[in-house]
Amino acid sequence: MAQTNCSRRTFLKQTAALGAAAAFPTIVPSTVFGQAAPSNKIVMGAIGTGSMGMGDLNGFLHKDEVRVVAVCDVDKRHRENAKNTVDNRYGNKDCVAYHDFRDLINRGDLDAVMTALPDHWHAITSVMAAKAGLDIHGQKPLARSIREGRAICDAVHRYARVWQTGSWQRSVAHFRRACELVRNGRIGKVSYVEVGLPTGGTRGPQPEIPVPDYLDWNFWLGPAPWRPYCDFGGNSPHWNWRWIMDYSGGQLTDWAGHNIDIAHWGLDLDHTGPVEIEGKGEFPANGLYDVPVTYRFRCKYATGLEMVVANNQQVAQGAKWFGEKGWIHVHRGGLSASDDKILKEVIGPDEIQLYNSRDHLQNFLDCVKSRKLTITPVETAQRSISVGLLGEIAMITGRKIRWNPETEEIINDPAASALLGRAYRQPWTL
């Protein structure tokens, strides 16, 4: 049984040391070894095992090449639920449950981690994991601020880690198809694109209540400003932290990593960003939540392209590109176009073929082995969320933001520039 917990990393090291398989190619095809061979086991830990975290964890547990050995959450109920799930899957009691993610990262036997935490925790955990030499599947959006996102990119690049963001729409055939049609000029030159994201909500004032004994509230807050415990909605802080600026930017930043991400993919904008951002949001005033409920902002790119991002009462949910010869609209419900003929178009082999992943988590695992870029690499995630975060800054300041996508700096507006990063509550540091 010891062999099944032998991580891929350990195995490769051993074989290399023995000189037995020292010459096998770096780009290891997954077929080289049998699916269950120990060398193919990717040993993983899971940080954050609430609703999204359990979704990802279950996905990984069903991959034969993965061995999950550790889970971590500051909510005891989540932690124990995750441990039980893992143990049931493997039929043993071996999964270690951690309270502090630093202990999980520093185990020394992991190949990769998956994280599914509130946005304000993304940077600290991701940077620490990258510095520990781990590959990372991280939930979108990449980070709560643009500077944090850049810090994650830097650490991932520096240590040549494999990164995949949970922007799984890129692994869905009809999204890829839509982007390929746009990329290959099937609607002509595109000068305008609309991105529709869900609409937010509000919640009245909430009294302070005692912290439940299963939750480490101080750790949950971590680097975010302190606040007394209350019910965010649904009797817990989970999930509905999304509507409070200290932890998230609302539907806008939640979905930026999906639909703005797709809009960028269709236009080959994964390595750049807008140059001007201007817009308005309706900020709730009646109680606990403070992220915009409705919002609409316009981004201009250096090429003259314009993107309007708004909640789905103002523009249709999804990404909709308008070209000289028609439009294409894609969302989770499907794909449509100004003319059905466009949708029947064949993309020739000598035209642009986009990265083809049919199974998001599998793509991550394949890349952990091949060391290739995943379908949603870290730089792409940074560029997708930057649009949402710049929109947020434009709406908070109420003025047009000019942006240099090369240097990732706001031009000529030091006060707005102060919103690109955030100070952390002690003792957390990035």
Q: Which residues fall within 8 angstroms of residue 315, CB to CB, at 6 or more apart?
A: 194, 195, 196, 296, 308
Residue whose pair of structure tokens reads 């999304």 in the numeric block: 242
Residue 350 in the binding site for another protein (CB under 8 A): yes
Residue 160 in the binding site for another protein (CB under 8 A): yes
Residue 107 in the binding site for another protein (CB under 8 A): no
Give the phi and the psi of residue 17 in degrees, each rounded to 5. -65, -40
Residue 286 in the binding site for another protein (CB under 8 A): yes
Q: Scanning residues 161 to 200, which ones bind another protein (CB under 8 A)?
A: none
Residue 16 in the binding site for another protein (CB under 8 A): yes
Give the phi and the psi of residue 227 in degrees, each rounded to 5. -150, 155
Residue 210 in the binding site for another protein (CB under 8 A): no
- The separation between CA 305 and the C-alpha centre of its own chain, rounded to angstroms, equals 25
Count of positions (residues) in the chain: 430
Angle of helix 76-90 versus helix 51-61 axis, rounded to 10: 10
Q: What is the largest CA-CA distance in the chain?
A: 68
Identify the residue among 191, 236, 272, 417 touching another protein (CB under 8 A).
417
Cβ atoms of 396 and 194 closer than 8 Å: no
Residue 418 in the binding site for another protein (CB under 8 A): yes
Q: Which residues pair with 281 in a beta bridge?
A: 295
Residue 424 in the binding site for another protein (CB under 8 A): yes
The DSSP output letter for 61 is H
Q: Scanning residues 120 to 159, which ones bind another protein (CB under 8 A)?
A: 131-133, 147, 154, 157-159
Part in contact with another protein (CB under 8 A); list of ranges 44-52, 69-77, 93-101, 393-401: 393-401
Residue 407 in the binding site for another protein (CB under 8 A): no
Identify the residue among 12, 172, 275, 308 touching another protein (CB under 8 A).
12
Part in contact with another protein (CB under 8 A); list of ranges 136-144, 255-263, 280-288, 357-365: 280-288
Taking 3-state DSSP, the helix, strand and coil percentages for the chain, each rounded to the nearest 5, stand at: 35, 20, 45
Q: Which residues of the shown chain bind another protein in the complex (CB under 8 A)?
A: 9, 12-13, 16-17, 19, 22-27, 131-133, 147, 154, 157-160, 204-208, 225-228, 230, 283-287, 290, 316, 348-350, 353, 371-372, 396-400, 412-415, 417-430
